[in-house]
């Protein structure tokens, strides 16, 4: 299989002089050669020495290391990204493990919270509600003619940090950085979008630095119209773009997905991406434990977009393993802020209603409140899997974890809320309270835990394992839509690549440093399913593999030739 030679072809550009140096997708800084400096009016605008990208990376890394605080490291890296994208990705690729927590969770959470305070320069599209009837003009202002992946947020539920208003742009930028660093999507083809419909965050509304609309979020009808205007405008401007919905709040996440998933190449990362990564990680955990998923009893804390998305995917997987659907549903327990979701609980959303426990099922349980609490569920259901997607720190208390351990010799415990400070329990706590008999994975990165002479690697169960590969696969196959089966294929590929399940050692998932290779495998599996479902034109395996390679961008400088502008 030949790797792409697209990047070796010269690139023709009309940019020159300082405009070229100020265009991050084209800028090479000190790596412009003598010939290029002469041809593009750069002579004198740069220090005289010509540098290789490796030399540039060394300097950047040295500067990066001079910052102590993660947020300052983030600001520094974002500045490089806004100055020279090729260099940024080369640097990140070379120090992936160290820098992912800086450009993504947990530090991206701080960057969203402090977005207006740390704002330096423009990136992506801020689409204000006030511009809703001029969206074609706004989208034309994004000068990229080919956009293949859009990550869009309205900033209402950013990680577990609530409403961050335009600060949500930080998460769209972070996700797309991973699309490029780990999924090989050229930064020329990505676009972060923030839909500004106001914010209900009082602190931001009062903050003189806040750069978004200073008004409460618009009403539901206005909101729905705005989303629709946006989707239709994207379809006109970039009909082939994948739209990834990110960090929408619960009332909007599922309805938006349901409204558009059958007609637009889109998916919701928090519902579907999270479901795919969690089922994949769970399958790997079940394999390494030697007990199949359909024999597990699973408790969720947080019956929101992520929780219900994962729960439905687990049920589908249990059914695929041979369980009757009703039986599968009876093995999944959703605990939200008022306790276990049951068929007598009022005011549930449609997607929660499908996941309630029947009163008959819990008739023999003893509990004192209106609904069983998490502790009641631990005692009465004796679950084997516990998943936290509540966004609330500390909900997995010592009492909860010890109660779970009483009913299960080797529990599987995934506190998945982000960023790190919102985690339901730290891995260290979970390991201590289970005396080390536990399989644990978290949403944000945690250092290995040492307990009684053993080292526990903490797997990061984060949708970032999924979305870069989905994007690459959908682009390579030119798939029309993104189906649940395509996401299931991503999940199965992930599980099949588990070091722990395959070899008995290592993490549940491969390290992030292998994400690029993994993304290509996920892309292949996803594209194959799209073809089988008639969502993409048939290609033979070699042609598909070649397409994936051709679409995989690498951070290498290209030679430039000048065209008159």
Ligand X SMILES: NC(=O)C1=CN([C@@H]2O[C@H](COP(=O)(O)OP(=O)(O)OC[C@H]3O[C@@H](n4cnc5c(N)ncnc54)[C@H](O)[C@@H]3O)[C@@H](O)[C@H]2O)C=CC1
Contacted by 302, from ligand X, Mg ion, ligand CC(=O)C(=O)O, none: CB < 5 to 8 Å by type? ligand X
Q: Is 236 in the site for ligand X (CB under 6 A)?
A: no
Contacts of 27 (CB under 8 A, 6+ apart): 20, 21, 83, 84, 85, 86
Q: Could you give the CA distance from residue 318 to residue 329 in angstroms, rounded to a whole number?
A: 9
Beta pairing partners, 196: 128
Q: Is 546 in the site for ligand X (CB under 6 A)?
A: no
The full DSSP string for 272-304 is IIHHHHHHHHHHHHHHHHT--GGG--EEEE--S
Nearer to ligand CC(=O)C(=O)O, 226 or 465 (CB): 465
Q: Is 390 in the site for ligand CC(=O)C(=O)O (CB under 6 A)?
A: no
Q: Is 192 in the site for ligand X (CB under 6 A)?
A: no
Which of residues 23, 128, 392, 533 is near ligand X by CB under 6 A?
Answer: 392
Q: Is 8 a catalytic residue?
A: no
Q: Could you give the CA distance from residue 33 to residue 30 in angstroms, rounded to a whole number?
A: 8
> Are β-strands 339-340 and 332-336 bridged in parallel, bridged antiparallel, or unpaired?
antiparallel
Which of residues 154, 156, 336, 492 is near ligand X by CB under 6 A?
Answer: 336
Which of residues 264, 301, 400, 404 is near ligand X by CB under 6 A?
Answer: 301
| 501: three-class secondary structure by DSSP | helix
Which of residues 196, 247, 312, 424 is near ligand CC(=O)C(=O)O by CB under 6 A?
Answer: 247
The contact set with Mg ion (CB under 5 A) reads: 247, 270
Q: Could you give the CA distance from residue 292 to residue 283 in angstroms, rounded to a whole number?
A: 8
Q: Is 336 in the site for ligand CC(=O)C(=O)O (CB under 6 A)?
A: no
CB of 101 to Mg ion, least distance (A): 16
CB of 140 to Mg ion, least distance (A): 28
Nearer to ligand X, 36 or 247 (CB): 247
Question: CA nearest 359: which of 343, 376, 370?
Answer: 343
Q: Is 203 a catalytic residue?
A: no
Quick check: bond before 265 cis, omega within 30?
A: no
| 128: three-class secondary structure by DSSP | strand
Q: Is 426 in the site for ligand X (CB under 6 A)?
A: no
8 A C-beta contact, residue 168 and residue 212: no
418 is in an annotated binding site: yes
8 A C-beta contact, residue 196 and residue 128: yes
**What does the angle CA 263 – CA 235 – CA 174 come to, to the nearest 5 degrees?**
95
CB of 259 to ligand CC(=O)C(=O)O, least distance (A): 20
Given the residues 89, 104, 223, 560, the one annotated as active site: 104
Radius of gyration of the chain (CA): 24
* Contact mark string toward ligand X, 276..295, x via CB under 6 A: -x------------------
| 266: three-class secondary structure by DSSP | strand
CB of 159 to ligand CC(=O)C(=O)O, least distance (A): 4
542 is in an annotated binding site: no
131 is in an annotated binding site: no
Q: Could you give the CA distance from residue 404 to residue 396 in angstroms, rounded to a whole number?
A: 10
Binding site for ligand X (CB under 6 A): 157, 159-160, 250, 270, 274, 277, 301-307, 335-337, 389-392, 395, 416-418, 422, 443, 461-463
Annotated binding site: 157, 246-247, 270, 418, 462
Annotated binding site for (S)-malate: 157, 418, 462
């Amino acid at each position: 299989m030949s790797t792409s030679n697209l990047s070796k072809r010269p690139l023709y550009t009309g940019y020159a002089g300082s405009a070229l140096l100020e265009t991050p997708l084209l800028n090479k800084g000190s790596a412009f050669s003598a010939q290029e400096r002469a041809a593009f009016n750069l002579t004198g605008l740069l220090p005289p020495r010509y540098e290789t990208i490796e030399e540039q990376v060394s300097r950047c890394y040295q500067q990066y290391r001079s910052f102590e605080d993660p947020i300052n490291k983030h600001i520094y890296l974002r500045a490089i990204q806004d100055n020279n994208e090729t260099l940024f990705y080369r640097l990140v690729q070379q120090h992936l493990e160290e820098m992912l927590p800086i450009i993504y969770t947990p530090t991206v959470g701080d960057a969203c919270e402090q977005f207006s305070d740390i704002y330096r320069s423009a990136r992506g599209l801020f689409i204000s509600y006030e511009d809703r009837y001029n969206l074609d003009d706004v989208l034309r202002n994004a000068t990229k003619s080919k956009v293949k992946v859009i990550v869009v947020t309205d900033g209402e539920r950013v990680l577990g940090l609530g409403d961050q208003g335009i600060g949500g742009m930080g998460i769209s930028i972070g996700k797309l950085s991973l699309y490029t660093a780990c999924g090989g999507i050229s930064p020329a083809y990505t676009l972060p979008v923030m839909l500004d419909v106001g914010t209900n965050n009082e602190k931001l509304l009062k903050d003189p630095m806040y750069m978004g609309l200073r008004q409460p979020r618009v009403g539901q009808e206005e909101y729905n119209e705005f989303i629709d205007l946006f989707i239709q405008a994207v379809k006109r401007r970039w009909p082939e773009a994948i739209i990834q919905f990110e960090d929408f709040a619960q009332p909007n996440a599922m309805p938006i997905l349901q409204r558009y998933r059958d007609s637009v190449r889109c998916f919701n990362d928090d519902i579907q991406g999270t479901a795919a990564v969690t089922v994949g990680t769970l399958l790997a955990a079940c394999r390494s434990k030697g007990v199949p998923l359909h024999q597990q009893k699973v408790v969720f804390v947080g019956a929101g977009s992520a929780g219900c998305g994962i729960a439905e995917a687990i049920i589908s997987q249990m059914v695929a393993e041979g369980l009757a659907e009703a039986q599968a549903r009876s093995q999944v327990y959703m605990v939200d802020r008022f306790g276990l979701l049951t068929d007598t609980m009022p005011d549930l959303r449609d997607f929660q209603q499908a996941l309630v426990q029947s009163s008959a099922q819990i008739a023999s349980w003893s509990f004192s409140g209106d609904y069983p609490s998490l502790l009641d569920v631990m005692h009465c259901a004796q679950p084997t899997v516990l998943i936290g997607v509540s966004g609330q720190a500390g909900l997995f208390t010592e009492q909860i974890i010890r109660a779970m351990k009483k009913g299960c010799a080797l529990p599987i415990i995934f506190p998945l809320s982000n960023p790190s400070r919102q985690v339901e329990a730290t891995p260290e706590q979970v390991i201590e309270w289970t005396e080390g008999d536990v399989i644990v994975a978290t949403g944000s990165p945690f250092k290995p835990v040492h307990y009684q002479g053993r080292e526990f690697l903490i797997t990061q169960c984060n949708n970032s394992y999924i979305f870069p590969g989905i994007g690459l696969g959908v682009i390579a196959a030119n798939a029309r839509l993104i189906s649940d089966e395509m996401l299931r294929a991503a999940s199965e590929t992930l599980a099949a690549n588990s070091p722990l399940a395959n070899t008995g050692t290592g993490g549940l998932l491969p390290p992030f440093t292998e994400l690029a290779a993994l993304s290509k495998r996920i892309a292949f599996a996803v594209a194959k399913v799209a073809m089988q479902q008639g969502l993409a034109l048939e290609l033979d395996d070699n042609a598909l593999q070649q397409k994936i390679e051709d679409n995989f961008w690498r951070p290498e400088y290209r030679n430039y030739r000048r065209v008159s502008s």
